[in-house]
Amino acid sequence: MNDNPNDVVLDRTVDAPVETVWEMWTDPDHFAQWYGPQGASIPIAEFDLIVGGRRFIAMEAQTPDGPMRMHFVGEHRVIEPFRRLSYTEAMATKTGDRVAADQLPPGHPEDTEVRVELESQGDQTNMTLTHAGVPADSPGAMGWKMALDKLEALLRTT
């Protein structure tokens, strides 16, 4: 149960072993296959998978006004293989520099934190995603729901 309306919390049980789910979150090539809302693509996914290591993501999507590209940068905070992953995320420029606070959309936080908790259940994995700083009723929350749907579909084919 999510008691904080400023956090997205999604809980899923997926039909894949915890090792496979972990790889989908931590291998940039796998992550790029499912991350983002329906219709989005990830042309750049770069991770230095160590505590303090950098993340850089580019997401492209078609909008009524034409193609749009967003960039995100962050840092890995917790890496407990097959159990927990936590990283920060901030809007970035195409070169990977953080967007200045005064250049962010109104009400958008400078930093958010993504936490993924995994629990092995034999051939299945319970996955709890928390994105702190993204309102539960926001477009970002809907994007996460679509991304996890894409992840589940990908896991069915692996």
User: What is the residue-level pLDDT of the chain in tens, covering all 158 positions?
Assistant: 456 778 999 999 999 999 999 999 999 999 999 999 999 999 999 999 999 999 999 999 988 888 899 999 999 999 999 999 999 999 999 999 998 888 877 777 789 999 999 999 999 999 999 999 988 888 889 999 999 999 999 999 97
Query: Around Cβ 121, how many Cβ atoms within 10 Å?
Result: 12
Whether 2 maps to a domain, the answer reads: no
Give domain status of residue 68, yes or no: yes
Per the domain annotation, does 76 fall within a domain?
A: yes
The number of domains in the chain is: 1
Question: What is the domain range of residue 62?
Answer: 7-157
Q: Is residue 70 part of a domain?
A: yes
Domain of 68: which CATH number?
3.30.530.20
Q: Is residue 1 part of a domain?
A: no
Residues 6+ apart with CB under 8 A from 152: 12, 14, 15
Q: Is residue 148 part of a domain?
A: yes
Distances (CA, A) of 129 to 64, 83, 101, 105: 30, 12, 26, 24
